[in-house]
Amino acid sequence: MKAPIVAALALVPLLASGTNARAATAEPLAVVAHRLGFVYAYLGPDDEVSLTGHGITVLVRPGDPFFSVNDRREPVRGETPRYRDSDIVVSRQFIRQLTEIERAAAFANDTALAKSYVSGSGRIDLDPHVSAAPRKVTTVDLSPVQGTEDVLVSGSATPGSLVAIVLKAIASPGLPTIFLNRSFAVTGTDGKYAMRISTAPEYFNGSTFLAEAASVDDASPVVARYTPPPR
């Protein structure tokens, strides 16, 4: 009878190491939500969490292998969200899934807002020949503002376009992209735009910054990146 007991005891370190590995790759959902620009709220009666922002609501319930995006149900990638030390923790695979949803929703929301701003406000006066042209971003540049922690996002687009600018950061390869700021700029008659944006709170040495710029008729944003030199 000793052999089975010895074999079972030998499995204990392996099981423990597997548990530790899963814990190391899990992260509190509240931290993930803040990083992606969502408002985190615990819905006590339903024992679930809502993430709201970018025009959508995401509902996550511990132990449920599915989650909701507005009225759509989707399977959770990776491990099912679970409780740990009074927090709901989620896997790296699910974090990447939420990041993809945030990016798609943020871009759709920005372009919809741009359309509303241009068509409904009357604050942008365009030449009739210009207004008929598709409003698209052609270039975007990202550069530091010397002596500050700010960056300058500039580029060109159709004259009279409202340009949605999203600034993000990658603190380290393999980690999710961090949402920093969303701004809007309007191009002049020369088709140029520029916006100075703070990189707070992403001051980490070695971070790479991403600027995504899009206008009303862009199918996807134009992207520029900048990595500051080591300090």
State pLDDT tens for residues 17-42.
Answer: 444 445 457 899 999 998 888 999 98
Q: What is the mean pLDDT of residues 63-80?
A: 89
* Radius of gyration, CA atoms only, the chain: 22
Is the confidence at residue 120, as pLDDT, over 50?
no
Quick one: 137 exposed, middle or buried, by C-beta within 10 A (0-12, 13-18, 19+)? buried
* 80: its two tokens: 């099912």
Of the listed ranges 99-108, 112-121, 182-191, 207-216, the one predicted with least confidence: 112-121
Tell me the C-alpha distance between 190 and 46, whole Å.
Answer: 54
List the chain domain ranges.
Answer: 23-123, 126-226
More confident residue, 125 or 145: 145
pLDDT of residue 155: 93
Q: What is the mean pLDDT of residues 100-125?
A: 57
* 210: its two tokens: 């991403």
3-state secondary structure of 113: helix
User: Could you say which architecture CATH assigns to the domain 23-123?
Assistant: 2-Layer Sandwich (3.30)
Is the confidence at residue 211, as pLDDT, over 60?
yes
| Domain covering 126-226 assigned CATH 2.60.40.10 in the classification | yes
pLDDT of residue 31: 92
Per-residue confidence at 112, pLDDT binned at 50, 70, 90? low
The amino acid at residue 94 is F
More confident residue, 30 or 87: 30
Of the listed ranges 19-28, 160-169, 192-201, the one predicted with least confidence: 19-28
**Percent of the chain whose pLDDT exceeds 90:** 27
pLDDT of residue 125: 39
Identify whether the C-beta of residue 137 lies closer than 8 Å to the C-beta of residue 166.
no
3-state secondary structure of 203: coil
Q: What is the mean pLDDT of residues 138-153?
A: 90
Is the confidence at residue 82, as pLDDT, over 50?
yes
Q: What is the mean pLDDT of residues 78-102?
A: 89
pLDDT of residue 168: 87
